[in-house]
Every structure is written in C-alpha cells, then in structure tokens.
Amino acid sequence: MQRIVRFLAFELALAGFAVLSADVCLAGDTSSTLVVPSSPSAVDITVDLPESFQPDSSKAWRLVEGTVSAPVQWLPAIAEDGSAANSRRLTARIPGAESGEGVRRFKLLPADAASPAAKSPFEFKEKNDAAIGLFDKNRPVMVYNHGTITCEQVPENDNRRTRACYVHPVWGLDGEVLTDDFPKDHYHHHGIFWAWPHVGVDGREYDLWIYRDIQQRFVRWIHRQTGPLAGVLAVENGWFVGERKVMVERVWMRCHTVDNGHRAIDFEFTWLPVDKPITLWGAGGKSYGGLNFRFAPREDTRITVPAGLTKADLPDTPLEWADLTAKFPDAPGPSGAAIFVHPAHPDFPPTWLTRHYGVLCVGWPGVEPQTFEPGKPIKLGYRVWIHKGAPEAASLKVAYDAYKAAMAANWE
C-alpha cells in the first residue's frame, strides 16, 4: 500500500512538473534562458522572444538568476518593415552585478500567482490635436508632436515656420525642460528630431533639414502601450514631396522608468523608400544629417565624448556616444542627456557634429552620399540617456556599456 501511495505521489509530482515545463518551455528546449553580458550598472533590456517559445503573456512572468528576480513587461516585436509583428518581445531591468564580468543567465519563469499585478506609472495624455504627452507618476516625460506645429515668430515665407513628427519638450528628472523648439539661432532645430539636409529623389535634391520642398507628415499610429516598466509609442510617418510619398518612416519610442538618477528612452527607426531609390548625405565638413538633440537655453555647458571632456566643437567626428550637461533653468543642479549609438549601427561608429551652443547631431550615412533601394529597410537604433548631475567620461562609459549589454542579450 505504501508503495502505491509513493508511486501515486511520484506520478502527481511528475505530472505537475510536466505541466510547468510545458508552460515554460518544451522538453529539451533551452530557449527560455536569456544570456546577458554582465554589467555593474542596471541593464534595461528589450529582447525578442524566439518563435519556438511563446509563453502565455496574459500571466505575469519574471527573469530569474539564483536569488535575483526581475519582472518583465510584454511588448509586440518589431517586424522587418518597422510595423508591429505578430510575435512578442519582453522588456525588463536586470540589476547590476558586482563583478561586471562574464555573462549572466536568466530563466524566464511564471511569477508567483499570489503576487499582485504591478501598476503602470506611465500615462499618455492628448495635449491637443497635434501632440501627445507621456507622463510618469503624473510628471511629464516627453511630448510627441505628430501634427503640424507653427511658430508665429518665424516669417510666413520661411519654410521653417512649421514642422511635424518630432519630440519636444523633453523633461529632465527634476522637471526642467531639456529641449528647445524654433530657437532664434536655428529656427529649423526642434527638440529630438531626425532629418537630412540632402535627400536625392528621381534626379532632384531636397532638404528635409529646413523643409525645402519635402516634409514629414503623420500617417498612422502603430502602437501605444503603458506598463510597469515602460511606456511605448510607435508611429508611421511619411516623407512627402507635394502629395507624393517618397519614404515610409516608422519610429518606435520606448521610455523606461527612472533608475538611480537617470532614464533611458530607446528609439528604433525604420525607413523604406517607396518606389524610387533615395540618396541621403550629410552636410559637407560637418556631417549633420540623422538623429539630433537640440538643447534648451542653459548655462555652464560641457560636452563629454569617449575621449573625455571637450572644449572644442567636433565636426565630422566618429563617436560611439556624446553627452551634453549644463545648468538648466528650474533645476537644482546640473543635468543633461547623452545619445548612445546602437553597437550594430551601420558604419559604426558614425560621424557626429557637436556644438556647444546646444546641439548633438549624429551624422549618418555621413558626408558621402549613399543610395537606398525601394522596399529595402534602413534601420537605426539609439538610446537617449537623461540624467541628473554632471557625469564624468568613466560614468558615461559604464552607462553606455550597460546599453551595449542590453543590445547583446540573447536566448540560448
């Protein structure tokens, strides 16, 4: 009788294990193990799930390494053309490791059923019919301007009087505004924006930098989501020459929660020439043309790059990252933002233009023209790292290395 009881208990235990294994991964399948390069700093990861491993996202899950447990938030994966895919990805914050060496392995496991569902601190609010804002615990983070924004101070016959499809304002962690729009020295600068001064289409040249005969226009929303770890906004725009759309532009913006005096906002871009090849190139001798961050008026500006603090402006300079720190109005101390370049960026590291008057410009493909064929996606990725204080080059390198670790996370 005791043998029968023990046998039944074993069978029940085996059945329970089989159910759990089926829920987590298939027998013999190790795709639920996430490998992340070790970092002394916390790592905000976002990684696609393997097609063979699609757990029930209606349940709460976590990444587990020994006693370390990190909750995850489910997101849609991004298709090759920049639209939302049918598969999924997860985002999570991996706590820093003491050694910062080697790799770490996390199992993806169901969370304790008794654990209460985490609430999202993020909320989207319509500012008006042309702009939507993202808030974290009712504090403003950023505004995406999808509609046409007009500055009455710019002359009516100036192409730079109106624009759309950009991020402004962006707030620092103490509520200070970090970005500028329509600055008098460069009317065409506008918060976080992406544009090229040279766009070649069908034998003609246009200027998206100052909107000469070409404009970005909103087409549709792709995705909008708030969760406990991130707020996500994805949008499709077009580049229009008159009423003719020449380029499809899809942008994913993923804003993470604040961690230890900084916040990461990830940008993933996809461009697709519509029916004609498109040639892009930056300003000769300077290399602006691509992603840009125009800073608000401030004092005590300092720009730091991997080589250290630089007092000179840097034209056409290859950089993995650059940071601008200053004293902004309404902030109790210095603050700022860095742009980190995705380590898989084409022509890594790309060339930049940095200006102490207040702009960081990632230039790609640089001053030499590069032509892109219709239907073949152009994909670029960056992280905007907003911070308190005035970090030195060594601290910025640690933050950039954490970004590289996040981008290198993979399943084995």
Sequential DSSP letters for 242-310: TTEEEEEEEEEEEEEPPBTTEEEEEEEEEEEE-SS-EEEE--TTT---EEEEEBPS-EEEEEEETTEEE
pLDDT attached to residue 24: 38
| Amino acid occupying residue 113 | A
Average pLDDT over residues 142-155: 95
pLDDT attached to residue 2: 42
Q: Which residues 6+ apart lie within 8 Å of 316 measured at CB?
A: 285, 286, 287, 351, 352, 353, 363, 366, 367
Q: Which helix (H) or strand (E) holds 37?
A: strand 33-37
The pLDDT tens digits of the residues spanning 254-302 come to: 999 999 999 999 999 999 999 999 999 999 999 999 999 999 999 999 9
> With contact defined as beta carbons under 8 Å apart, do 75 and 23 qualify?
no
In whole angstroms, give the CA distance from residue 306 to residue 321. 7
Q: Which residue has the higher pLDDT, 412 or 121?
A: 121
φ, ψ at 73 (rounded to 5°): -120, 135
| Closest listed residue to residue 395, CA positions, set 298, 293, 306 | 306
One DSSP character per residue, 70-128 reads EEEEEEEEE-TTSSEEEEEEEEEEEPP-SS--SEEEEEEEEPPTTSPPPPP-EEEEEEE
Average pLDDT over residues 349-369: 97
Query: In this model, does residue 27 exceed pLDDT 60?
Result: no
> With contact defined as beta carbons under 8 Å apart, do 290 and 194 qualify?
yes
Please, what sign has the CA dihedral across residues 394, 258, 271, 47? positive
The pLDDT tens digits of the residues spanning 240-259 come to: 999 999 999 999 999 999 99
pLDDT attached to residue 10: 38
Reported as a pLDDT band with limits 50, 70 and 90, residue 12 is very low
| Closest listed residue to residue 183, CA positions, set 193, 171, 173 | 193
Q: Check whether the bond before 169 is cis (ω within 30° of 0).
A: yes
Reported as a pLDDT band with limits 50, 70 and 90, residue 140 is very high
CB-based burial of residue 88 (10 Å sphere; 0-12 exposed, 13-18 middle, 19+ buried)? middle
In whole angstroms, give the CA distance from residue 291 to residue 289. 7
Query: In this model, does residue 368 exceed pLDDT 80?
Result: yes
Q: Give CA separation, 205 vs 199, 213, 281, 282, 369, in Å.
A: 6, 9, 11, 13, 12
The pLDDT tens digits of the residues spanning 199-239 come to: 999 999 999 999 999 999 999 999 999 999 999 999 999 99
> With contact defined as beta carbons under 8 Å apart, do 214 and 239 qualify?
yes
395 forms beta bridges with none
Average pLDDT over residues 90-114: 89
Query: In this model, does residue 354 exceed pLDDT 90?
Result: yes
Reported as a pLDDT band with limits 50, 70 and 90, residue 58 is confident
Average pLDDT over residues 43-53: 90
DSSP code of residue 347: T
pLDDT attached to residue 99: 75
The pLDDT tens digits of the residues spanning 116-139 come to: 678 999 999 999 999 999 999 999
Average pLDDT over residues 97-111: 89
pLDDT attached to residue 155: 92
Query: In this model, does residue 100 exceed pLDDT 80?
Result: no
The pLDDT tens digits of the residues spanning 160-208 come to: 999 999 999 999 999 999 999 999 999 999 999 999 999 999 999 999 9
pLDDT attached to residue 114: 64
**In what order do the strands lie in the sheet containing 335-341?**
215-226, 230-241, 244-256, 262-273, 378-388, 335-341, 321-327, 299-305, 308-310
- Prediction pTM value: 0.91
